[in-house]
């Protein structure tokens, strides 16, 4: 699986490419500012990692939403909120099993 989505940030009108690929045993979702040339030479504007493929697909969709709807200066805050939401979801699931 590899995912690729192109979005335009609503606040800045900048275009970004969201890419999710498997890198050394884990999944990495990254947002790159769209420019001419190969992606591998660009530093990603936002990166989120996941261990499982299903989580990576969910992260990809959420990162695309963040990049599209949130001003770039607030991306790290939105990323932290997403990671907290994921962590709390795991805690709730684990407590439900007990």
CA torsion sign for 1, 26, 29, 22 is negative
Domain limits of the chain?
3-97
Range list of H helices, the chain: 53-69, 75-97
**What mean pLDDT do residues 15-43 have?**
83
User: For the chain, what is the mean pLDDT?
Assistant: 83
CA dist 18 and 7 (Å) reads: 8
Cα–Cα separations (whole angstroms), residue 74 to 68, 77, 78, 79: 12, 5, 6, 9
pTM over 0.85: no
Longest dimension (CA), the chain: 52
Over the stretch 57-96, which tens digit does the pLDDT of each residue have?
Answer: 888 999 999 999 999 999 999 988 888 887 776 544 444 4
Distance, in Å, from the CA atom of 24 to the CA atom of 10, rounded to the nearest integer, reads 33
Q: Is the pLDDT of residue 34 over 90?
A: no
């Amino acid at each position: 699986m590899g995912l690729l989505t192109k979005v335009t940030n609503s606040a800045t009108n900048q275009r970004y490419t969201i890419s999710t690929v498997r890198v050394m045993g884990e999944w990495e979702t990254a947002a790159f500012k769209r420019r001419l040339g190969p992606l591998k030479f660009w530093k990603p504007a936002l990166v989120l990692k996941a261990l499982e493929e299903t989580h990576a697909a969910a992260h990809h969709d959420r990162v695309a939403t963040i990049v599209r709807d949130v001003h770039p200066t607030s991306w790290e805050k939105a990323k932290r909120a997403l990671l907290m939401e994921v962590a709390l979801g795991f805690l709730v699931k684990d407590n439900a099993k007990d």
